Amino acid sequence: MATNTRERIVTTTAELFRRQGYNGTGLKQIVAGAAAPFGSVYHFFPGGKEQLGAEVIHVGGRFYQELVEAVWDAAPDAVSGVADVFAGAAETLRQTDYADACPIATVALEVASTNEVLRVATAEVFAAWIESAVERLSAAGIGRAKARELAIAIIALLEGAFVLSRATRTTEALEAAGATAVARVRDAILQGEGRAKP
Amino acid sequence: MATNTRERIVTTTAELFRRQGYNGTGLKQIVAGAAAPFGSVYHFFPGGKEQLGAEVIHVGGRFYQELVEAVWDAAPDAVSGVADVFAGAAETLRQTDYADACPIATVALEVASTNEVLRVATAEVFAAWIESAVERLSAAGIGRAKARELAIAIIALLEGAFVLSRATRTTEALEAAGATAVARVRDAILQGEGRAKP
């Protein structure tokens, strides 16, 4: 029961952060959404909203990473994997009325210059995402340095497309960003093969 | 004097939104930063923070668009123009201790699901940016449909790289995103030339 309350608090907070950000989310709204007593936030998170925020960033980042990895790894190759990630993100946005996109981008922008604890938490999540994508691009035959450049570009495309798609309430940005990500991965794999067979 | 106060309020609010978002910015902080009497916000913006927010989004969006257009148009060609835009954004981030990036992205993510007036304002800004980039890419010989896809991808790359660069306090993401934008524009121009000379 106690564990469930803690989980409900984290899950509710994650959804609120994703939709309205860190500053726009109050503890009252969190406990109401989690059907938890007000004191329970400080019981589980003595550091209050900041400690809860850091946990939500880490849990949300890990959850989203596993989701994206599952989609990517289910595809027959890296090019299809990247395409499926963008298509899946577009589908989720449509299904959630353009509310559910990246679990941490809103918070990341809000706190980057104002809260060092939370900024570091978002940086750690992005570092894990980059490493995950680098592994997969390297396994597809792309050299490590190029794989890192592409991994960062793919995540930037996804994050930027979320900003545009949520603002415009269309998935056109995710489709355009996905096309660019796919083209770059395909080119990098072809160039790798070109070097391998001179 | 009255006009100056109004301008100071808009300028101060724009900077606060860019650094800490809409929800994290209070009217008290705005009037303090603008050295304006408290009542002046409601004098100039009877609709309060929301009306001020919409104006800041439009003014900030137009200002940033003109800045980017000036950088792009000063370059000898579209490929250099795009490269210069990303390099300039990286330089600005470094100079401002990773605080000044996109004037509206933070607010765009915060309000997308919670404030329709401000969401529409951010969508209008992004539409104007896309049109500006489409014009420039079309002038470089890229067909209209491909130019629109690339324009959106370039803006997504820039926005996403701002999220990553501010979170990680490095400009690596802007460099990786810039490399992808440049490669895609170069390829599109070469393909257009290829079609023109069969």
CB contact under 8 A, B108 and A167: yes
Per-residue pLDDT tens for B150-189?
999 999 999 999 999 999 999 999 999 999 999 999 999 9
Instruction: Please name the member of A109, A148, A157 whose beta carbon is closest to the beta carbon of B109.
Output: A109
Identify the pLDDT of residue A178.
98
Mean of the per-residue pLDDT values for chain B?
A: 93
Spatial separation of the C-alpha atoms in residues B109 and B132, rounded to whole Å = 22
Instruction: Please name the member of A150, A159, A184 whose beta carbon is closest to the beta carbon of B163.
Output: A159
Per-residue pLDDT tens for B43-79?
999 999 999 999 999 999 999 999 999 999 999 999 9
CA B91 to chain A, closest CA, distance in angstroms equals 17
Q: What is the number of CB-based contacts under 8 A between chain A and chain B?
A: 181
| Identity of the highest mean pLDDT range in A88-102, A142-156, B8-22 | A142-156
Q: What percentage of chain A exceeds 90 in pLDDT?
A: 83
What is the token pair recorded at A146? 């190029």
Is A49-196 assigned to CATH 3.40.50.880? Answer: no
If pLDDT is split at 50, 70 and 90, which confidence band does A3 have? low
The interface predicted TM-score (ipTM) is 0.93
If pLDDT is split at 50, 70 and 90, which confidence band does B192 have? confident
Spatial separation of the C-alpha atoms in residues B17 and B102, rounded to whole Å = 10
B26 to chain A: nearest residue by CA? A23
Per-residue pLDDT tens for B73-122?
999 999 999 999 999 999 999 999 998 888 899 999 989 988 999 999 99
Q: Which residue has the tokens 């400080």?
A: A42
Identify the pLDDT of residue B86.
98
What is the token pair recorded at B157? 């790359």
CB contact under 8 A, B152 and A172: yes
Identify the pLDDT of residue A124.
98
Q: In sequence order, which residues have a C-beta less than 8 Å from that of residue B152 and are 6 or more positions away?
A: A161, A164, A172, A173, A176, A177, B130
Instruction: Please name the member of A148, A159, A169 whose beta carbon is closest to the beta carbon of B160.
Output: A159
B183 to chain A: nearest residue by CA? A184
Mean of the per-residue pLDDT values for chain A?
A: 93
pLDDT reading at A21 higher than 90: no
Per-residue pLDDT tens for A68-87?
999 999 999 999 999 999 99
CB A65 within 8 A of CB A128: yes
Amino acid (one-letter) located at A18: R
Contact list, B176 vs chain A (CB under 8 Å) = 148-150, 152-153, 156
Supply the pTM of this predicted model.
Answer: 0.94
Identify the pLDDT of residue A151.
98
Identify the pLDDT of residue B101.
84
CA A2 to chain B, closest CA, distance in angstroms equals 31
pLDDT reading at A186 higher than 80: yes
Contact list, A156 vs chain B (CB under 8 Å) = 156-157, 159-161, 163-164, 173, 176-177, 180
What is the token pair recorded at A162? 């979320």
Pick the more confident residue, B23 or A163.
A163
CB B69 within 8 A of CB B128: no
CA A56 to chain B, closest CA, distance in angstroms equals 16
Which of B181, B167, B17, B154 shows the shortest CA–CA distance to B93?
B167
How many C-beta atoms surround the C-beta of residue B91 within 10 A? 12
Q: Which residue has the tokens 């170069």?
A: B186
Identify the pLDDT of residue A2.
60
Average pLDDT estimate for B10-26: 89
Spatial separation of the C-alpha atoms in residues A8 and A22, rounded to whole Å = 17
Q: In sequence order, which residues have a C-beta less than 8 Å from that of residue B146 and are 6 or more positions away?
A: B137, B188
If pLDDT is split at 50, 70 and 90, which confidence band does A19 have? confident
CA A36 to chain B, closest CA, distance in angstroms equals 24
Instruction: Please name the member of A106, A112, A157 whose beta carbon is closest to the beta carbon of B109.
Output: A106
Give the start-to-end residue ranges of the domains of chain A: 49-196
What is the token pair recorded at B51? 């009306």
B15 to chain A: nearest residue by CA? A113
Amino acid (one-letter) located at B164: L
CA B40 to chain A, closest CA, distance in angstroms equals 24
Per-residue pLDDT tens for A30-64?
999 999 998 999 999 999 999 999 999 999 999 99
